[in-house]
């Protein structure tokens, strides 16, 4: 029997996902990890939770990257530990398009890391 790896994603700023009427936190998963998308060549932070089935902690370990943004002085913006720049904020709209739309797409670096975890292949 073949067990395909599966994945569900939730942005931590959103309300908890529902999965067949069951809150996702209550659904059993092999592995749950938290990460910040800024770790994958992205200008915004987007705290994200991923649930994986049929994968191990070893498979998804390289995805577990949390930002430790720090202020260099009082009143200055926090600097991302990955990009070395302040995080871009995805609030509001520009020309009637919500800035959060930008966060729907995965960066190539994140997509490649995800492919590596899910399929065991280098992208
Ligand atoms: Zn960051």
What protein residues have CB closer than 5 angstroms to ion ligand 1? 38, 45, 67, 80
CA of 83 to the centre of ligand 1 (A): 7
pTM: 0.79
Q: What is the pLDDT of residue 107?
A: 93
Question: What are all long-range contacts of 106-115, with beta carbons under 8 Å and residues at least 24 apart?
Answer: 106/40, 107/37, 107/40, 107/41, 107/42, 108/41, 109/40, 109/41, 109/42, 110/37, 110/40, 110/41, 110/42, 113/40, 113/62, 113/63, 114/7, 114/63
pLDDT in tens, the chain (123 residues): 456 777 777 766 665 556 555 565 556 677 889 999 999 999 999 999 888 888 888 989 999 999 999 998 888 989 999 999 999 988 888 888 888 888 888 999 999 999 998 887 665
CA of 20 to the centre of ligand 1 (A): 33
């Amino acid at each position: 029997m073949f067990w395909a790896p599966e994945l569900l994603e939730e942005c931590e700023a959103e309300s908890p996902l529902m999965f067949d009427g069951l809150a996702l936190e209550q659904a059993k998963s092999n592995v749950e990890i938290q990460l910040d998308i800024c770790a994958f060549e992205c200008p915004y932070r987007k705290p994200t939770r991923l649930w994986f089935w049929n994968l191990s902690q070893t498979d998804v370990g390289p995805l577990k990257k949390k930002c430790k943004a720090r202020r260099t002085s009082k009143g200055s913006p926090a600097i991302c530990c990955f990009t070395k720049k302040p995080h871009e904020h995805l609030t509001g709209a520009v020309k009637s398009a919500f800035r959060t739309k930008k966060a729907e797409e995965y960066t190539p670096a994140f997509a490649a890391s995800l492919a590596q975890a899910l399929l065991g292949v280098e992208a």
